[in-house]
Amino acid sequence: MLVASGPAFLVVKLAGAAYLIYLGIRLLFWRSDDGKHDSGSTEATGSTRPSFREGFICDMANPKTVLVYASIIPQFVQAGPNAVLQVAVLGVTFAVIGFASLVAYTALFASARSIMVRSRVKKWLMRVSGGILTSFGIGLAASAR
């Protein structure tokens, strides 16, 4: 529907490109916050339950989550009496796959944390990420569609 409306699509596309460029530039010029988190300590503070709860609430309150489910899942549902069941199965499958991938990312980055908290590594990582986001933003703005 958005693609069918040329001007609306262009506005959304350019707004997204501008946001990507903004995020990229912020990361390119990122500065450490006075070493508050550069101690090199790898000890976790507190329980993981509050972090999980905060992430869950943030994700569920994010309208993009609802938009993704509303735009992707119906494409794979056949009209009929079992449509609600199909949506439920696809939604649960989508959530389980997403959760499993996030657990894998967490395990990977938890093991790499001692390296990533170093100031030089963090600065390099921020600049590379900033360059990638800025490039994506420019590419999106320049794309024909």
Number of separate domains in the chain: 1
CA dist 128 and 125 (Å) reads 5
Report pLDDT digits (tens) over 83-106.
899 988 988 898 899 889 988 988
CA dist 65 and 30 (Å) reads 28
| pLDDT recorded at residue 20 | 92
Domain for residue 27, yes or no? yes
- Model-level pTM greater than 0.95? no
| Parent domain of 22 | 6-32+49-142
CA dist 95 and 33 (Å) reads 35
CA dist 134 and 20 (Å) reads 6
Domain for residue 42, yes or no? no
CA dist 74 and 90 (Å) reads 9
Report pLDDT digits (tens) over 17-57.
999 999 999 999 988 764 554 444 445 555 778 877 888 88
Domain for residue 123, yes or no? yes
**Rg (Cα) of the chain, in Å, rounded?**
20
Domain for residue 39, yes or no? no
Per the CB < 8 A criterion, the answer to whether 133 and 30 are in contact is: no
